[in-house]
Amino acid sequence: MTANELRAKYTDFFKLRAHAEISGKSLIPENDPTVLFTTAGMHPLVPYLMGEPHPAGKRLVGCQKCIRTGDIDSVGDASHLTFFEMLGNWSLGDYFKKESIRYSYEFLTKSEWLGIPLERLSVTVFAGDGKAPRDGESAAAWESLGLPKECIHFLPREDNWWGPAGATGPCGPDTEIFYDVGAPACGSDCRPGCRCGKYLEIWNNVFMQYRKGADGSYAPLARPCVDTGMGVERTVAILQGKKSVYDTEVFRPVIGRIEQITGKRYGANAEDDRSIRVICDHVRAAVFIIGDPKGVLPSNVGAGYVLRRLIRRAVRHARKLGLADILFEELTQGVVGLYGHYYPEISEKKDFIVAELMREENKFLETLKKGEAEFEKLLPNLRKNPARMIPGRVAFRLYDTFGFPVELTEEFAGENGLTVNRAEFDEAYKKHQETSRAGSEQAFRGGLADHSEITTRYHTATHLLHKALRLVLGEHVAQKGSNITAERMRFDFSHPTAMTKEEIERVEALVTEQIRRDLPVTMTVVDLEEAKKSGATALFGEKYEARVKVYAVGDFSKEVCGGPHVAHTGLIGSFKIQKEQSSSAGVRRIRAVIG
Ligand code: SER
């Protein structure tokens, strides 16, 4: 079964069980300052898991493109990926543990679906602690389906608890489903969750029962939900009997092409294999990031920096393999060929993606030349250092003066039997960040991603601001991004020039007036076409369901939006624009606070 077939099968299975198919969302989260990328299928669904009604109903199924960069350094081994697809089914206050577990069991084991022998499966469930009880219900559900007791493992919070995605929000125990690859146990305590590779986690069913508050307490959710996630690449590898995600059709053609050009055989040399995998993974991720409807370009901050790092790492590994040209055009074509029908955004932007990848490559090659020469110059002295450690200030100078990423300094250092004093580098970097505008914006990351009262008030304020900008500057203004923390909001919008002082004052006055009018905020669910016809603003490039929620703020604004919002604008309090500045070409950024 191929990845495309698995995606279709999964969706069919749940559609037959009354789930509505929802389209995946952008890789760049809206209104969530705690993460740079969408990291799980549940991420865009947080408002609904917290109680907002979803326009498509209470049972949903879908596939979400995700990026996780936490283990970027592990990419290159047999299983790690930065970009991956996650299949999921969700119950928003509909079915719960028993049905969810039965669905997973049926989909995995029935011959008309995946047909995995039950003997290959084992699961983990939450063991309970002082804050939440042992999840006997999930264990009983598995047992009633014929899973032997010894295949059901009770594990602590660090293994079997999920969420919240931010500091506060929905969370609960989960049951994780593992596939036994058939390798011998690594020891007497080898069990699902062990890292030896015998047990691969393929599916995670989270039972959102609690809401974690800012004080760390867990309150029961009025409407418990189910959120499941199945990794596509991993599951496909298992179904095809492959040892690694890189051995499936998702990566094999690319690997074949690299073999052909370099004359190297995949599987013959561990170092080369690592480089080949890094190229496959990083280029695929970069294609999706640049091709995203809310496309990000390489830069020195936030998601743009992650993208830059992915591209540069791929280029470096290509050079290690002796590839003079990283074949961006061919590799992008490969990704588009595999995914373009499901993610049309990457086919549409193909040429743009290739051009951006090449532009970044050229920039990097320049940087590399200078940085490498500088590093070579420093090497004899560095070697004399008895600790064999490169001081942080040296690594920082390479970064600051030559644009040489610290990760590369670390890699070069490693190749020369040295290490980098990372703590010292981080300190120097932090100091530098605090003094740069981009850096100080960055420091705001790490706020809250919940739907607390303050973020909800900010969220409604963004609707007022969006409309006020359109009234003052013109209809060309479109929202390009919004980012909310408890302390401020940041709103990006298309507009070619800096706003004048008068324009800023007029926008501020318009928003303030709507707050004073204490307008009611109302929500209706309508067909997307109807919403657009009624003049509701929708985010350009965002994918919407057939039925959408429209939030109207009195007679002032109307937007397609998932919510949540305050009931009436008086609750926002006051509104003040603190800064208006350029964000990128043709995009301005407003920073504002409410009181
Ligand atoms: N949110 C859970 C996960 O990412 C299940 O979807 O594993």
State in Å: Cα 556 to ligand 1 middle: 38
So what's the architecture of 453-594 in CATH?
2-Layer Sandwich (3.30)
Task: Kindly give the number of the ligand 1 atom that is closest to the alpha carbon of 229.
Answer: 6
Sign of CA dihedral 391, 394, 396, 399: negative
- Judge contact between 13 and 113, C-beta under 8 A: yes
Question: Taken in order 58, 61, 64, 69, is the CA torsion positive or negative?
Answer: positive
> What ligand 1 atom has the least distance to the C-alpha of 205?
5
Ligand 1 pocket, residue 82 CB under 6 Å: no
Nearest CA to ligand 1 atom 6: 229
**Ligand 1: centre distance to CA 286 (Å):** 23
- Ligand 1, atom 2, lies closest to the CA of 229
Query: What are residue 174's phi and psi, to 5 degrees?
Result: -130, 165
Ligand 1 atom closest to Cα of residue 86: 6
Gap from CA of 201 to ligand 1 centroid (Å): 11
CA 551 to chain centre: 26
Predicted confidence (pLDDT) per residue in 148-198, tens digit = 999 999 999 989 999 776 667 889 999 999 999 998 999 988 999 888 889
Residue nearest to atom 4 of ligand 1 (CA): 40
| CA dihedral of 52, 58, 59, 62, whole degrees rounded to 10 | -30
DSSP string, 145-161: TT--GGGEEEE-HHHHE
- How remote is the CA of residue 42 from the centroid of ligand 1, in Å? 7
| Residue 436, pLDDT score | 43
| DSSP, res 299 | -
pLDDT number for residue 326: 78
Task: Name the segment(s) of the chain with CATH classification 3.30.930.10.
Answer: 3-243
Give whole-number Cα distances, 485 to 372, 465, 478, 521, 583, in Å.
40, 16, 21, 21, 18
Show the tokens assigned to 72: 């970027």
**Angle 97-109/136-144 helices, nearest 10 degrees?**
40
Instruction: Collapse the DSSP code of 226 into the 3-class scheme (helix H, G, I; strand E, B; otherwise coil) and give the result.
Output: strand
Give the number of other CB atoms < 10 A from CB of residue 1.
15
The atom number, within ligand 1, closest to the CA of 41 reads: 6
Give dist(CA 265, CA 275) in Å, integer: 12
d(CA 338, CA 332): 10
pLDDT per residue over 502-556, tens digit each? 999 999 999 999 999 999 999 888 888 888 888 898 876 667 777 888 999 999 9
Percent share of the chain, pLDDT over 90: 57
The pLDDT of residue 382? 86
Query: Is the confidence at residue 233, as pLDDT, over 70?
Result: yes
The pair of structure tokens assigned to 585 is 């070409």
Closest CA to 257 of 181, 165, 321: 321
> Is residue 164 in contact with ligand 1, taking CB distance under 6 Å?
no
Q: What is the pLDDT of residues 184-216, one digit of tens each?
A: 999 988 999 888 889 999 999 999 999 888 888
Shortest-distance atom of ligand 1 to CA 39: 4
Q: Give the 3-state secondary structure of residue 556.
A: coil
Task: Tell whether ligand 1 has an atom less than 6 A from the beta carbon of residue 162.
Answer: yes
Ligand 1 centroid to Cα of residue 316, in Å, is: 32
Cβ of 557 below 6 Å from ligand 1: no
Spatial CA neighbour of 505 closest among 584, 569, 575, 448? 575
**Residue in 418, 74, 84, 85 with CA at minimum distance from that of residue 274:** 74
State in Å: Cα 66 to ligand 1 middle. 11
Fold for the domain defined by 3-243: BirA Bifunctional Protein; domain 2 (3.30.930)
Place of tokens 């064999």: 388
pLDDT of 384 reads 85
Please determine, for residue 437, whether its predicted confidence score (pLDDT) is greater than 80. no
Q: Cα–Cα distance between 168 and 242 in angstroms, integer?
A: 39
Determine if ligand 1 sits within 6 Å of the CB of residue 371: no
Q: Is the peptide bond before 564 cis (omega within 30 degrees of 0)?
A: yes
Largest CA distance in the chain: 73
| Residue 77 Cα to chain centre, angstroms | 21
| 406, amino acid identity | V
For ligand 1, whether the C-beta of 88 sits within 6 Å is yes
pLDDT tens digits, 60-110: 999 999 999 876 777 888 778 999 999 999 999 999 999 999 999 999 999
Cβ(295) – ligand 1 distance below 6 Å = no
66 Cβ closer than 6 Å to some ligand 1 atom: no
E strands in 166-303:
169-180, 199-212, 218-231
pLDDT digits (tens, 9 = 90+) for 315-351: 989 988 988 777 899 999 999 999 999 999 999 999 9
Please state, rounded to an integer, the average pLDDT across all residues of the chain.
89
Ligand 1 close to Cβ of residue 225 (< 6 A): no
pLDDT score at 442: 30
CA atoms within 13 A on the CB side of 555: 1
Q: What is the mean pLDDT of residues 399-424?
A: 85
**pLDDT at site 434:** 58
Pocket test for ligand 1, best of 228, 230, 232, 235 (most atoms within 8 A of CB): 228
- The pLDDT score that the predictor gives to residue 34 is 65
Q: Is the peptide bond prior to 164 cis by the omega test (within 30 degrees of 0)? A: yes
Outline which parts of the chain fall under CATH 3.30.980.10: 453-594
Is any ligand 1 atom within 6 A of the Cβ of residue 227? yes
The secondary structure of 489-539 as a DSSP string is: EEEEEE-SSPPPHHHHHHHHHHHHHHHHTT-BEEEEEEEHHHHHHTT-B--
Mutation test of ligand 1: which of 206, 209, 230, 234 has the most ligand atoms closer than 8 Å to its C-beta?
206
204 lines ligand 1 (CB under 6 A): yes
CA 176–ligand 1 middle distance (angstroms)? 10
Tell me the CA–centroid distance for residue 234 and ligand 1, in Å.
Answer: 14
User: What's the confidence (pLDDT) of residue 446?
Assistant: 28
pLDDT grade, residue 26 (50/70/90)?
very high
pLDDT band at residue 430 under the 50/70/90 scheme: confident
Number of C-beta neighbours around residue 385 at 10 A: 12
| Better-predicted residue by pLDDT, 577 or 438 | 577
How would you classify the pairing of strands 419-420 and 389-390? parallel
Query: Ligand 1 atom 3: the closest Cα is on which residue?
Result: 229
